[in-house]
Amino acid sequence: MPADMSPSDRAKFLAARRAVDYVEDGMRVGLGTGSTAAWMVRCLGDLVREEGLRVTGVPTSRRTADLARQVGIKVVTLEEAKWLDLTIDGADEYDPNLHLIKGGGGALLHEKIVATASDQMVVIADISKQVDKLGAFPLPVEVIPFGWQTTKMLLEETLINMDVMGRTCTLRLDMDKPYVTDEGNYILDLHLRRIGKPGQLALVLNQIPGVVENGLFIDICDVVVIGHQDGRVEVRDINNGTVKNEQIDIVEDENLFQDISD
């Protein structure tokens, strides 16, 4: 492992390296989006190139698709794959029930579709993503551009009756223009600070006209793999009710750490 890797990147890499152990030969795998997921794609590509692992990837964004092709992973659409054995993705927050907030990278719609079309979802993260209650990270809500200001107003009115601490709603920007998702939609970030009933909120938000999807992933994640800076990896399996701590020994691989854009 490169000596100049930051402590945060080291933890993310360790989680990603452990998570690809869930991938078996011949699997169809959902590939997440974001900095942690990018490490996973690199690790998976290394197994494809060096060990001949046969795997078909379904990316959740264009940039993940580009990276997967660069590292040698066969890429297909979800329509072609139809159903997936496994999805590996990152998260912006996870709570003790393995409920998630996702969408910081702007791919929440594709990520939720791919995750729910999988037999299993494995989330990779560092310990900074762990929270007792979701909500410190802004909750992304994908909305159609038409009438987005009205949708924003409806969201803010709805939040008055929800178990949250904050109700500020902001349009996500890319420089001085609205950020546009791969589906051509906008994202409204809800600054809630604490979400008391995430399951209820997820259902209510999706009833608002103009809302396409929200970044609450409820009862979707099966396993969280948490990387630590000291080389430990913690694996939490919600279905088995187990928590395991492991030590990961890494040998530096020049191919894995080459400068691949994501």
Catalytic residue list contains 254:
no
In single-letter form, the type of residue at position 129 comes to K
Tally Cβ neighbours within 10 Å of residue 113. Answer: 15
Residues 103, 91: contact at Cβ < 8 Å?
A: no
Where does residue 43 rank: exposed (0-12), middle (13-18), buried (19+ CB within 10 A)? buried
- Could you tell me the end-to-end alpha-carbon distance of the chain, in angstroms, rounded to an integer? 19
Burial 73-89 (b: 16+ CB within 10 A, else e): bebeebeebeebbbbbb
Give the helix, strand, coil percentages of the chain, each rounded to 5: 30, 30, 40
Tally Cβ neighbours within 10 Å of residue 130. Answer: 16
Which of 50, 51, 80, 111 does the annotation list as catalytic?
Answer: 111
Which letter does DSSP use for residue 69 in this model?
Answer: H
| Residues labelled as active-site residues | 111
